[in-house]
Chain A
Amino acid sequence: MKLSRHSLAVAAALAGLVGGTAARAAQPVSIVDPTFSLGMEADEKAKKPVEKHACKGMNACKGHGGGSKNEWGKNECRGKGACATDGSKPKPK
């Protein structure tokens, strides 16, 4: 049987379709194959590092769980640095 170039091309497309679908089903979406890219991230703003202590002076840390358990919901972490919004920990005393 002689296969045409077109048949071979379509067969390759189907092979890619099956392989890609199976790979997607098997792996979490976030693990991306380096052989292809998602493209340019459209919102560079999203990449901006979170400002350390972005809530400074705004009392916005109230109820967000910063500081020790005794302080939760009481806004008593104010000024102590425990609510650091970049994930850093306060220095041990």
Chain B
Amino acid sequence: MRLLELQRRMAAALLAPPGKRGRKEAVRLIKPNDRLSASERLAIYRRSYWARLLDSLAEDFPGVTAIAGRRRFRRLAVQYLRDCPSRSFTLRDLGAQLPDWLQRHPEILGAHQDLAVDMARLEWAHIVAFDGAQSPLLDPEHLLEPGPGMRIGLQPYLTLLELAYPVDEVRVALQSDAGQQPARRKAARLANPVFVAVHRSEGTVYYRRLEPEEFHLLQALRRGRAISSAVRFAFRHSRHAPADLPRLLETWFAAWARLGWLTVTSIDRHQV
């Protein structure tokens, strides 16, 4: 057997999901010793690998774990990792596809699927906010001649979420609630759409509620619309009186700038 083939077979045996028997392969690849058989020796490493993946996923998604329950989360996690195996050098990326994967598998969580998908989106955004990249901040010198055609970008670590359930409150409450049932009960009781910005400040992650227009305006800016166009888009179905717009916009832009959410993309003073 060539080294490359040996390495591939060894990797396949180690990474095989729990429950899959690999006794014959273990016997081919590994010698037994006086205490353990070949498959027992292999199982030590295979179990350690899977235990680490499952622990890491549960640690990153405590809210989804609470909604699903520990046992069901474990089954769900094994199924997810079979479909979306770790492809990154870091465990940080392990759950990147969990929100979309949960969305595609309504059979797994049944009536709690929408709640779990919202929670998974929030918890992935939490990871991105914690260690996502930071672009250079918008500085006063970038604004010497601001105009309505100016385009501004948003920090890569900032995630904007439109959620059917107030999972931000639920996740914070989970930190103090020992039980898991309250997560589902509380969210179901409070079910109403919310808009949330997941961001960080000085190394701490925050969930900041947004008004619908504020959310749509930030989304439009992120998609590259110029400020004037983004304002028009965000307020097209607004409940706010037109007279309130200047005050709202001044407050929001000032707050986003203070929070360090804004970055420069390009400045086109002629485009409105």
Contact = CB atoms under 8 A, between A and B. Distances in A.
B98 interface: no
Nearest to A38: B206
A51 interface: no
Given A6-B232, A40-B169, A25 B140 contact: yes
Given A12-B249, A14-B148, A20 B254 contact: yes
Q: Name the interface size band of chain B.
A: 35 or more
A42 B60 CA distance: 13
A71 B198 CA distance: 45
B216 interface: no
Interface stretch (B86-94, B181-189, B240-248): B240-248
A17 B205 contact: no
Interface string B38-74: 0000000000000000000000000000000000000
B182 to A, nearest CB: 15
Interface stretch (B12-20, B75-83, B113-121, B258-266): B258-266
Given A17-B143, A42-B205, A36 B255 contact: yes
B33 interface: no
B160 interface: no
Q: Name the interface size band of chain A.
A: 35 or more
Interface stretch (A26-34, A54-62, A73-81, A82-90): A26-34
A24 B257 contact: yes
B207 interface: yes
A92 interface: no
10 contacts: A8-B245, A12-B249, A17-B254, A17-B262, A18-B140, A20-B255, A24-B258, A29-B260, A40-B169, A42-B168
Interface of A: 5-25, 29-30, 32-33, 35-46
Given A6-B231, A9-B235, A35-B251, 8 more contacts: A6-B232, A12-B250, A13-B231, A20-B256, A39-B199, A40-B168, A42-B168, A42-B207
7 nearest A-B residue pairs (beta carbon): A20-B257, A39-B208, A16-B253, A12-B246, A20-B254, A16-B250, A44-B175
